Amino acid sequence: MHSILTIFRKEVAAFFNSLIAYMVISVFLIGVGLFFWVFEYNVLESGYASMDALFEIGPYFFLFLVPSITMRSFSEEVKTGTMEFLITKPLSDWQIILGKYFAAVFLVLFSLLPTLIYFFTIYMLGKPTGNIDTGATIGAYIGLFFLGSIFAAIGIFTSSLTDNQIIAFILGVFLCFFFFLAFEFMAGVKSLDGINNFLIRLGIMEHYRSISRGVIDTRDFIYFVSFVGVALIGTKMSLNFKRS
């Protein structure tokens, strides 16, 4: 556990020591804020005390935010040669992977925290004050956090495949987009009508929607944990291949 914590601290410190960290999180918060308060989902003009705008647009910002957080996880280590240094340390592959993964998940959570300002603002502006479905909002936040956790696992995996951060980022965005939206598109193909429900359940979006309704279903929780597990196992296999 101590070794995982050491890797965790190293990754978080490295992220906040780079300018791109503040740029990425700022773009996320400004972008979401503009959609929330100004553009299409303008909450003030809608007349409803709701956080739905955040949970509808948030996943699409996450498609780019999370891969930008994870793109350097392994690719930079390989490029600079520090990966060999890590391997020679008394650390197992799983300790390295989990340390980097938990750091990425922490950064996802960190980027979400400032959006609580939106919740408290709407809570105070509601008529009467507090006229907002707090339970559903909490469930939706949990769903968005789980979604970010899956995207982080995918990003860690793609970062382990290459020593180029840009390629890791592009691969991460592509895979996050595919597993989030592609199954929904495939389910709409007429020739696949017989298995459309199965395809929808394979995609991340269906499970995200389910949790975002404020209902924590065991099946959704198992799906998210299993997806993360498979992605991290893929990362372990990638590292074994590079080592061999």
User: What is the domain partition of the chain in residue ranges?
Assistant: 2-243
Is the pLDDT reported for residue 168 higher than 70? yes
Token pair 């918060």 in the structure block, residue: 29
Tokens linked to 230: 């498979």
pLDDT at 188 (0 to 100): 65
Amino acid, res. 4? I
| Mean local confidence (pLDDT), 96-105 | 92
Most confident of 81-85, 114-118, 123-127, 157-161: 157-161
Is residue 46 scored above 90 in pLDDT? no
Give the mean pLDDT of 65-87.
76
Predicted confidence band of residue 14 (pLDDT cuts 50, 70, 90): confident
Confirm if 59 and 208 have CB atoms less than 8 A apart.
yes
The residue that leads in pLDDT, 29 or 81, is 29
Q: What is the pLDDT of residues 144-154, one digit of tens each?
A: 999 999 999 99
pLDDT of residue 115: 87
What is residue 230's predicted lDDT score, i.e. its pLDDT? 95
**pLDDT band at residue 19, thresholds of 50, 70 and 90?**
confident
Largest CA distance in the chain: 64
Q: Give Cβ neighbours of residue 8 (< 8 Å, ≥ 6 apart).
A: 99, 100, 102, 103, 106
- Give the integer Cα–Cα distance in Å for 55 and 78: 36
The answer to whether 101 touches 156, Cβ cutoff 8 Å, is: yes
Q: Give me the helix-helix angle, 52-70 and 165-177, nearest 10°.
A: 150
Q: Which pLDDT band holds residue 11 (cuts at 50, 70, 90)?
A: confident
Say what the pLDDT of residue 218 is: 85
pLDDT interval class at 231 (50, 70, 90): very high
Nearest to 231 by CA among 143, 155, 145: 155
- Residues 33 and 152: their CA atoms lie apart, in Å, by 22
Residue 15 has pLDDT above 70, yes or no: yes
> Token digits for 223?
């799906």
Percent of the chain with pLDDT over 70: 83
Query: Which of 237, 241, 242, 243 minimizes the C-alpha distance to 94?
Result: 237
Is a pLDDT exceeding 80 seen at residue 31? yes
- Give the Cβ contact number of residue 221 at 10 Å: 14
Let me know: does 205 contact 112? Beta carbons within 8 Å.
no
41: pLDDT strictly greater than 90:
no
